[in-house]
Amino acid sequence: MDRATIDMSSLFSQLGCADDAASIRAFIDANTPLDSDVLLHEASFWSASQSAFLRDALLEDADWAVVVDALNAELH
């Protein structure tokens, strides 16, 4: 994937979630604040495949890592 297209919208699309700005904001608002002791990929609202994608993106320092970190910050 072209790094220029990796943003919050593309992350939500990759996760199979609604990816328009209003839906992303609604998701964040509905799930904030995430308890400080809960890692992003361990949150109860992710499916197993979504959780694995988020975990692997960070562990592998993939192109997705920056936007996954941003989502983590938004939710915590």
pLDDT given at position 42: 97
pLDDT in tens, 14-45: 999 999 999 999 999 999 999 999 999 999 99
* Structural domains in the chain, sorted by start: 3-75 (1.10.10.1130)
Mean pLDDT of the chain: 94
pLDDT given at position 5: 81
Length of the chain, please? 76
In b/e form, how buried is each residue of 1-34, taking b as 16+ CB within 10 angstroms? eeeeebebbbbbebbeeebeeeebeebeeeeeeb
Residue 3 has pLDDT above 60, yes or no: no
pTM for the structure as a whole: 0.90
- Of all residues in the chain, the percent with pLDDT exceeding 90 is 93
